[in-house]
Amino acid sequence: MAVDENLKIELGKQGVFVTTVEELYNWGRRSSIWPMQFGLACCAIEMIATTMARYDLARFGAEVFRPSPRQADMMIISGTVTKKMAPQVVRLYNQMAEPKYVIAMGACAISGGPFKQGYNVLKGIDRYIPVDVHIPGCPPRPEALLQAFMTLQKKIDAQPLTGEGRPRHLDAEAQGEFPVPVEGEHDLEPASNKGVWTVPVVIR
């Protein structure tokens, strides 16, 4: 049960701190996001810059880039996802610990970007895995990645622990396994995951 905001402010003035389990839980979750350490293309350089002293991702509690998906709960798709690379990305996403989040960084990760018409580039990673935050840009500046982090933190903060919209790890019904595509004759098979992405209808 949420505490009334005005009542909370009034109590705060009197020196009484009121919170809920949900707020505490989400505060802990959003303040210690551990990203997975991998870069796909040029966006990765901006991602590296974001973690360094000038932009200092550590301010958001997300500086611990883990080299193993077992210890990570956020994936930054930093760059072009080729069709050769897509199965590996999806498999790594599967192997990450719950609850997991994805930031699609840059035009390529969102849609294929300048290589959209290419035969070998995936036209957006959200065809296979659920993306929480998209950042446009080619590449996005570190400030944009920080903005994405803050957006993700707000999203985590707003997640109720019960009922509709609760995080995936608390939902027994939620999909846990995301099928890894395989290289077919002409394209990846399946071309998209129907559970997370609906094929757009072309209206002529």
Partner 1 sequence: MASSPYFSLAVLFVAALGFGLAPLGLARLWGRLLSPAKPNAIKNDIYECGLESRGDAWVQFRSAYYLYAIIFLIFDVEAVFLLPFAVAFSGLGAAACGAMLIFVLLLVEGLAWAWAKGVLTWA
Phi then psi for residue 121, to 5 deg, are: -115, 135
| Position 98 contacts partner 1 (CB under 8 A) | yes
> Least separation, in Å, of the C-beta of 161 and partner 1?
11
Q: Which residue has the tokens 């895995």?
A: 129
| Position 151 contacts partner 1 (CB under 8 A) | no
Kind plus residue range of the DSSP H or E element containing 142: helix 142-157
| Position 84 contacts partner 1 (CB under 8 A) | no
Q: How far is CA 120 from CA 20, 83, 86, 117, in A?
A: 49, 5, 10, 9
Provide the 8-state DSSP code for 141: P
Q: How far is CA 69 from CA 4, 39, 90, in A?
A: 39, 13, 11
Closest CA to 151 of 176, 171, 131, 124: 131
| Position 44 contacts partner 1 (CB under 8 A) | no
Q: Which is nearer to partner 1, 118 or 179 (CB)?
A: 179
| Position 190 contacts partner 1 (CB under 8 A) | no
User: How does strand 182-183 pair with strand 188-189?
Assistant: antiparallel
Q: Which stretch binds partner 1 (CB under 8 A): 5-13, 68-76, 147-155, 192-200?
A: 68-76
| Position 69 contacts partner 1 (CB under 8 A) | yes
104: β partners: 77, 134
Q: Which is nearer to partner 1, 94 or 192 (CB)?
A: 94
| Position 176 contacts partner 1 (CB under 8 A) | yes
| Position 48 contacts partner 1 (CB under 8 A) | no
Selected binder of partner 1 within 40, 77, 89, 107 (CB under 8 A): 89
- In the complex, the residues that contact partner 1 under the rule CB under 8 A are 68-70, 87-89, 91-92, 94-95, 97-99, 168-170, 174, 176-178, 180
